[in-house]
Chains A and B, each alone.
Chain A
Amino acid sequence: MAIDFGRLRIEQVIVHAIPRAVRDDPNPEPLRLSEVVSPLDDVMRASLQSRLRGDLYASREVVEDPTIESPVPKIIRTYLSEEPDDFVDMSRELAQHLRGSQNGHNPNGMLLVADCMLPGSRALMIVKLEHQDGVQASFSNSAGKKTFDVQQVPDLMYTSKSRVYKIGFFLASAVEGEMISGWVTDKQNSNGIAAQFFLATYLGCRPRQDPAEVTHAFYDKSVKWVNAQEIPPETKSVYLVSLHAELLSQSSDVNPREFARKHLDEEHRDGFLNSVCGDDIPKSGFPKDVDRIASRLSTIQIAFGGGTSVIAPQSAFDDGTVTMEQADNGKSRLVVTDDVTELKGKAKSGARPKKDKPEGVAETETSSSQSHEDDQE
């Protein structure tokens, strides 16, 4: 479901402090819980709102996972289903459960709970921030001389460069029967994918989409987009090789926006993201699972207008054994620089079963020459 977070309006906020607690510590530092909402003038509201609007842009959809034992979904569901007269109590419950969800590795933090509105629906936002300190320099006078008064500022919550926080956002209109659904982002993770303790243990949710499905859809749509572009075949091959490399990398996530910024020409990035990403494929990232496309990622096939088709392993493009370039006559030239190990006749696809080709050797269906020119697709 596409949401325009640019219309998010914060109605009221409350903040609680969640000190670090080692598991099974009989005397943990107590929570510091607010008893009333925080005063919020229009300047502060606008500032906080703008930060959170931007942050939520990178969020991804989540749904309640009934297999997880967390009281948070029920707290959210009850609050969003009823008249909002128990905001403070509800937020204190959320804070207490956050302490219970954290392990000893989680540092001191703050929990900001915001009662929000989007056009047509109430919403609840839960923001977990890590405690920060800072140094403030104030211009002042000392013994009649101008100077900066430098002081330590404790309890900084939201600095302009702060990336240490996680957000859960839930709309009343997105409560689906007995199940809640919403959006989660984690600014600590460059791809916005929430830490397991926040998403699952605390919020009791899981990603709406199956990572294998999303990865599969991302690959299919990306390949389709590359082939649909009216760009030189050499550029197409670079894009496709980059896509394979991205999906074969050690990274556990895929970030389409970062992929576009890193590998695509700037004038192609918006077209790519608009075409490939949407509700089902978040621009800002998703966990990677290549199980369903693993076999397709190991090779790249290039079909030429004259009927020639070349299949080469991804590694041959990566190490430069196979390259594609533009010939002087405007056609494309595929160059294979390697030892020829075998030449043989080959039946057309479907005529009889294919034999496996040797690893690392490019295979052509109609020609074994090392250079081939043909019309651009």
Chain B
Amino acid sequence: MTSTLEAARIRFISERDKYEETALSVAESIKQALREKHVVFQVSSRAKTVASFVKKALAKNYTDPWTGITDKAGVRIVFDMPASLDIGLQAVREVFPDAVIEDDRQVVGNEDRLKYPKVHAQVTLQSGDGTEGLSCEIQLRTAAQDLWSKMSHALLYKPTAPASADVRRSLYRLLALVELYDSEVERGMTAMANNPDYREAQLLQEAEAVFHTFVASDYQIALSQEVMPVLSRLIDMDISTYRDKLTTFVSLNREKLIELYQEYGPESDSGKNGRFPLAGQPESVLIFERLTESPELLRSRWARDLPADWLTEIASVWGIDL
């Protein structure tokens, strides 16, 4: 008589392709949702290998291996910092409202142990033909956790030879570093995000990325440092959202920007004669965007801290009279 495990093995061989497709499909849906969340992430997917399926069933000694093994299809999302894990879980819930979440990060009682904090979601991809949907396990990790996890799996969980006590001790010591690394990254990012200078620098970087697609010249950083605080206070949205807004603005006004920098930019005759100095600055891109989006607010806020003539001149170039 065929054993339960043998029946599960045979069934998995015949159905593995479907799990491969399921994993791919779940990964694509997650990628799309995460792109809208403006976080840095990497997504990978796979169907378990048949050998891995059998090894896990033997190691865990499941009564019903088919039901017990929940990661026949698997998706892994790796984020650059811990705060993004919550954003990732939110994206999973939005795409799969029935997702079963397993989140060990806040589990009480493990304070004296070095334990890998599991953040998993079990989701079911509904089939289009009325048959039962296939299940997929989604793992969410930070980059540091992922690095440690890969190493520990190779040395601790799936070794061909058992790891020595010394190796096991080393891995657990490294886990402490992973926790430390993530918390320091989080602390640093929070501090930087709350620093106005950092925000101004980020915005200027976004402007520069656009500006240098139109202009191959250096600019006066001192002038940028005068203007950016005003623009930064005006742009009251997170940088990634504004990046999208700026991309759309540039795409709608590409021809106009090309003409404008040719005639008024730093390489134009006017620019070389010292005229229209703001047109030679990367922040001009942000000024043009604000002039299009909210000219009155720009005008009134600008006048508080900067000479009105500067704005009047660049606004006229853009075709707006303030």
Among A170-178, A262-270, A315-323, A365-373, the one that faces the other chain is A262-270
B residues 287-319 touching A (CB-CB < 8 Å):
293-297, 300-301, 312-313, 315-319
Determine the residue in chain B with the shortest Cβ distance to A57: B321
Given contacts A43-B275, A49-B263, 18 further A-B contacts (CB under 8 A): A6-B260, A6-B320, A7-B319, A8-B319, A9-B259, A46-B264, A46-B276, A47-B275, A50-B317, A53-B316, A54-B312, A54-B315, A54-B316, A54-B320, A57-B321, A261-B296, A266-B300, A269-B297
> Looking across the interface, which residue of chain A has its beta carbon closest to that of B272?
A43
CB distance from B275 to the nearest CB of A (A): 7
Chain B residues near A43 (CB, 8 Å)? 269-270, 273, 275
Whether A46 and B275, one on each chain, are in contact in the complex, defined by CB atoms closer than 8 angstroms, is yes
Q: Is the CB–CB distance between A46 and B263 below 8 Å? A: yes
- CB–CB B316/A119 < 8 A: no
Q: How far is the CA of A284 from the CA of B270 in the complex (A)?
A: 29
Task: List 24 A-B pairs, Cβ < 8 Å.
Answer: A6-B260, A6-B317, A6-B319, A6-B320, A7-B256, A9-B259, A43-B270, A46-B263, A46-B269, A46-B270, A46-B275, A50-B276, A53-B317, A54-B312, A54-B321, A119-B255, A260-B296, A266-B297, A266-B301, A267-B297, A269-B296, A269-B297, A270-B296, A273-B296
Docked CA distance A6–B260 (Å) = 9
Could you tell me which B residues sit within 8 Å of A by CB distance?
A: 255-256, 259-260, 263-264, 268-270, 273, 275-276, 293-297, 300-301, 312-313, 315-321
Question: A82 an interface residue at 8 Å Cβ cutoff?
Answer: no
CA distance A50 to B275 in the complex (A): 11
A-B contact count (CB 8 A): 77
Q: Tell yes or no: A58 within 8 A of B by CB.
A: yes
Measured between beta carbons, the chain B residues less than 8 angstroms from A257 are 296
Tell which of A6, A47, A261, A267 touches B318, judged by Cβ atoms closer than 8 Å. A6
Q: A166: shortest Cβ distance to chain B, in Å? A: 15
List 9 tightest A-B contacts by C-beta distance, closest first: A6-B319, A54-B316, A269-B296, A57-B321, A42-B269, A54-B321, A270-B294, A5-B319, A46-B270
With A and B bound together, what is the CA distance between A284 and B295 in angstroms? 13
Is the contact region of chain B dominated by helix, strand, or loop, or is it mixed?
Answer: helix
Residue of A nearest to B312 (CB): A54
Minimum CB–CB distance for A225 against chain B, Å: 14
A55 touches B321 (CB 8 A): yes
Q: A58 to B318: give the CA distance in the assembly, Å.
A: 13
- A57 and B294: CB pair below 8 A? no
Contacts of A8 in B (CB 8 A): 319
Taken together as a complex, chains A and B put the C-alpha atoms of A46 and B317 apart, in Å, by: 9
Residue of A nearest to B270 (CB): A46
B277 to chain A, nearest CB (A): 13
Q: Does A41 contact B (CB under 8 A)?
A: yes
Tell me the A4-35 residues at the B interface (CB within 8 Å). Answer: 4-9
Shortest B308–chain A CB gap in Å is 12
